């Protein structure tokens, strides 16, 4: 479905209290918004960050959060470049050097052809790297970035408020807040998530499509040592995925992702701990370490969204505000960080050239770069989803032959691996 609006330009209204003037206002202090704020610290720009609720400080004894992300090398290099990586590493993260993918085969096939012949495994050694990426809790990423931008003298934080309206003119935008305050700025950056208020108020339009699956995320304690692999098994009802997490107080942790019909997941969410552990051991492959404890669970619908425009006037979108994709390959936050890098590189150049962070040429170049790149990844994830979400015999045969062949095509594997790692 889609919604479109004709562009509007509304002159700012005058209130009895004059607006607070800032060069850039970032709506959303999460991972992408925090990355934008941190990347802009090298300028003399005055920056406002609007965040409804900042995260609690890190507690190394606390159990892992439910929402985690797989950061590839591209994201790691970006976070290193804005001096946030060391703060992240000082908290906790789990590197992985192998990634495996396969489709669950009928029992008869496994008996006749043992050893998962359709399993393709990628190893960091194939591209001369020590690791493929890191699994990190979303809150840890947000905190690592927040530690950089929050104490900066040129950053003002607006907490416990929301954006009520955006009033635009040729040279500025008035941001009306829920507490009655008005901010006047040269550029508004919407990094306020999939249900972006900025996208709506700026009338940037949205195309969306809901998949016939939800994803259930389960945080667990498992047997055994830390794992160096993340894997995904495709089934007729949806994938089952395993993501290793760091050990805490000697206990090994992991994040499991169970894709299925929403009715099935609703049943799983209602189960007691012992019943859910039994269901996991029944449905997940033998590769899964023994699950000892359920720490948390939750589910969310899978919806593909793409803004019809990334910017209008002096308002621009980044991250989930601009696009959400099927999380099959865990590329969502990596795309968001690529947005943040391209956008902030353009702003830095615009400030150097013209002194104007909202220079329209900069915003147009950003959209021309990121929109097709994000669309390509969305299309690729759609291809995976629809290829593996049916039981048509010819399609099933072709995809398993493809998985089998992929494990033996080393040049192609290296190229796919570089792309997945954000190195190509």
List per-residue pLDDT tens for the chain, 424 residues long. 444 333 333 334 445 689 999 999 999 999 999 999 999 999 999 999 999 999 999 999 999 999 999 999 999 999 999 999 999 999 999 999 999 988 887 654 554 555 566 788 889 998 899 999 999 999 999 999 999 999 999 999 999 999 999 999 999 999 999 999 999 999 999 999 999 999 999 999 999 998 888 999 999 999 988 899 999 998 888 899 999 999 999 999 999 999 999 999 999 999 999 999 999 999 999 889 999 999 999 999 999 999 999 999 999 999 999 999 988 767 889 999 999 999 999 999 999 999 999 999 999 999 999 999 999 989 888 877 766 666 655 555 555 555 555 555 566 666 666 767 776 6
Query: E strands within 320-364?
Result: 323-324
Rounded Cα distance between 139 and 271, Å, is: 27
Q: Which helix (H) or strand (E) holds 335?
A: helix 332-354
Rounded Cα distance between 182 and 103, Å, is: 54
CATH 3.30.9.10 in the chain, residue ranges: 94-131+211-299+389-420
Query: E strands within 261-320?
Result: 291-307, 311-312, 315-317
pLDDT of residue 5: 38
pLDDT of residue 114: 55
| CA nearest to 252, candidates 23, 395, 63, 21 | 63
pLDDT of residue 390: 62
Residues 6+ apart with CB under 8 A from 388: 103, 234, 239, 399
The count of other CB atoms within 10 Å of the CB of residue 7 is 11
Query: If you ran DSSP here, which 8-state letter would residue 75 be given?
Result: H
Helix (H, G, I), strand (E, B) or coil at 318: coil
Rounded Cα distance between 230 and 405, Å, is: 21
For strand 323-324 and strand 291-307, is the pairing parallel, antiparallel, or unpaired? Answer: antiparallel
Instruction: Count CA within 13 A, CB hemisphere, residue 156.
Output: 13
Whether 374 and 335 have beta carbons less than 8 Å apart is answered as yes
The CATH class of the 94-131+211-299+389-420 domain is alpha beta
Fold category of 2-58+140-208+305-382 in CATH: FAD/NAD(P)-binding domain (3.50.50)
CATH 3.50.50.60 in the chain, residue ranges: 2-58+140-208+305-382
pLDDT of residue 212: 84
Rounded Cα distance between 48 and 39, Å, is: 14
pLDDT of residue 422: 75
Output the CA torsion sign for 254, 258, 259, 265.
negative
The angle, 0 to 180 degrees and rounded to 10, between the axes of the packed helices 332-354 and 73-81 is 40
């Amino acid at each position: 479905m889609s919604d479109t609006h004709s562009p509007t330009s509304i002159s700012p209204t005058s209130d009895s209290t004059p607006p607070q003037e800032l060069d850039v206002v970032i709506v959303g202090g999460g991972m992408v918004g925090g990355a934008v704020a941190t990347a802009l610290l090298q300028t003399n720009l005055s920056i406002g960050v609007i965040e409804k609720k900042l995260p609690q400080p890190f507690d190394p004894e606390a159990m892992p959060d439910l929402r985690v992300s797989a950061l590839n090398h591209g994201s790691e290099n970006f976070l290193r470049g804005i001096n946030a990586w060391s703060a992240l590493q000082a908290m906790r993260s789990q590197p992985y050097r192998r990634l495996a993918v396969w489709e669950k085969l009928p029992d008869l096939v496994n008996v006749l052809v043992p050893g998962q012949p359709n399993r393709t495994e990628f190893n960091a050694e194939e591209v001369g790297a020590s690791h493929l990426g890191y699994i990190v809790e979303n809150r840890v990423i947000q905190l690592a970035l927040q530690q950089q931008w929050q104490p900066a003298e040129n950053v003002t934080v607006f907490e416990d408020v929301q954006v009520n309206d955006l009033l635009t003119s040729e040279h500025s935008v008035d941001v009306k807040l829920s507490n009655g305050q008005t901010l006047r700025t040269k550029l508004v950056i919407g990094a306020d998530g999939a249900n972006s208020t900025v996208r709506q108020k700026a009338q940037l339009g949205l195309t969306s499509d809901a998949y016939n699956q939800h994803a259930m995320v389960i945080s667990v304690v498992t047997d055994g040592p830390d794992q160096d692999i993340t894997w995904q098994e495709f089934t007729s009802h949806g994938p089952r995925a395993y993501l290793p997490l760091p050990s805490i107080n000697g206990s090994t942790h992991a994040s499991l992702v169970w894709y299925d019909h929403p009715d099935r997941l609703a049943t799983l969410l209602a189960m007691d701990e012992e019943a859910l552990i039994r269901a996991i051991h029944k449905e997940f492959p033998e590769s899964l370490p023994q699950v000892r404890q359920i720490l948390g669970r939750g589910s969310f619908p899978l919806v593909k969204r793409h803004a019809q425009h990334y910017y209008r006037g002096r308002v621009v979108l980044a991250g989930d505000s601009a696009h959400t994709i099927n999380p099959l390959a865990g590329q969502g936050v990596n795309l968001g960080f690529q947005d943040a890098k391209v956008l902030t590189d353009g702003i830095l150049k615009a400030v150097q050239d013209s002194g104007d962070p909202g220079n329209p040429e900069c915003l147009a170049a950003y959209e021309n770069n990121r929109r097709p790149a994000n669309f390509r990844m969305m299309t690729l994830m759609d291809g995976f989803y629809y290829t593996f979400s049916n039981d048509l015999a010819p399609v099933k045969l072709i995809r398993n032959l493809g998985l089998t062949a992929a494990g033996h095509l080393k040049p192609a594997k290296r190229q796919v691996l570089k792309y997945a790692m954000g190195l190509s």
